[in-house]
Structure 1
């Protein structure tokens, strides 16, 4: 059976930029199809509207690409999944309108669809694509599954359990390090919560502590920005793996850019 995973985001919620992401896995064995779009800020934008729109875009693209069904749809929005399944009432007029549009498209093509909820941790690719500014923005493309480093293959500069961190931060870093493909939201929610022993250290000191290999990684990733290099090294020294530390800084940069729009 073909499967469709979808996710939507709105930052800030409500009224912010909306992002929509979807991933189609084909039962024929051909490479998955990923797609994403975004919509500029508007007072009517909300997380729920974004989730519904992501589903609508995903199904529309599935049909355009010749999908005939049956189709299993997965999303981490309980509201959308339960309303599309008919088990929850729809009280919001905007959501009702999108719901009707999706139902009409399904009926028009006589598409057999099942809806199922999954936790965010099992929806990481769609979650990534739903981030405004994602690499697939405003496009739908066929690609191999997103490559990810297996947790057991990750490289570390420091042991998180030996670092002088708060118990909450240590727990969050451990969770990320053991997650094969952490989503955008997981990185966005990772915060020091003030200042720690690494916050005040300058780049030269961080480079000396982290070593030449780690310093080379951040120089290659952020060649013209010493601030970003320092931030990535700080996360490595806190115990985040080298690949995730780089990704954390990249996401922080994207969030900062969105706030300035």
Structure 2
């Protein structure tokens, strides 16, 4: 969760000035505010998140305490593949997150029959990951999404136009789900080699191997 700090600085003689910080992680913002408050010259401090929601110091402290008990620091790898011979698609996602000071990896795949292209399968794999995030009760948090499809990543980032009707429907469906969950996405295109885990899950789905697993990881 990223926020910016807005506050008024007041000198001992009563001269005031308003300051606004850059966006930063909420934990860092709290640390900075606590440090500045030691001087006794910070007034009217608030924190503003990416949705322009305003938090008081007390509210943000409570929110950060609650976040520790919920899934956070989330990274998602997704991949999809389409088999021309069978017209089946394999979807795979691997989700890494932290909860209660413990690191976890969740893996999920699925085989579907109603898609018509590899690009559709890539979008569907990302949507599968969002469904899993919803089951984890992830909400109002930044999430990093890594995929090896330049089409999907660049279209969702707004870098490439989307002319195909079916892909536009998928993009809208994903955006609506993001908004529903309050997820703040960060997309990054990676090589297929770096996306090997999600690629393997998608391939296993095409072979009829259904996988749903959750594993505790060492730091």
Distance 1:126 1:144, change over 3 A: farther
Higher strand share: 2
Would you say 1:71 and 2:143 are equivalent positions? Answer: yes
| Alpha-carbon distance in structure 1 between the residues aligned to 2:216 and 2:108 | 13
| Alpha-carbon distance in structure 1 between the residues aligned to 2:119 and 2:194 | 19
State the TM-score, normalizing by the size of structure 2: 0.60
Give the length in aligned residue pairs. Answer: 140
For structure 2, the residue ranges without an aligned partner over 5 or more in a row are 1-72
> Could you tell me which residue of structure 2 aligns to residue 20 of structure 1?
91
Q: RMSD of the TM alignment (CA)?
A: 1.8
Q: 8 Å contact 1:36–1:134 — kept in the other structure? A: no
| Equivalent of 2:207 in 109, 133, 138 | 133
> Could you tell me which residue of structure 2 aligns to residue 31 of structure 1?
104
Q: 8 Å contact 1:90–1:96 — kept in the other structure? A: yes
Would you say 1:11 and 2:80 are equivalent positions? Answer: no
> Could you tell me which residue of structure 2 aligns to residue 61 of structure 1?
132
**Which consecutive segments of 4 or more residues in structure 1 shift more than 4 A?**
none
TM-superposition CA deviations, 1:24-56 (whole Å, max 9, x none): 00033332000000113x5x5210000000001
Deviation at 1:103, TM superposition (A): 0.1
State the TM-score, normalizing by the size of structure 1: 0.50
| Alpha-carbon distance in structure 2 between the residues aligned to 1:127 and 1:32 | 16
Q: 8 Å contact 2:111–2:208 — kept in the other structure? A: no
- The residue correspondences of 1:84-233 to structure 2 (distance < 5 A) are 84-131=156-203, 132-133=206-207, 135=209, 137=210, 139-143=211-215
SS at match of 2:174: helix
TM-superposition CA deviations, 1:106-154 (whole Å, max 9, x none): 112211110001000000110000111264x2x5321357xxxxxxxxx
| Alpha-carbon distance in structure 2 between the residues aligned to 1:134 and 1:25 | 24
Higher helix share: 1
SS at match of 1:26: strand
> Could you tell me which residue of structure 1 aligns to residue 74 of structure 2?
2
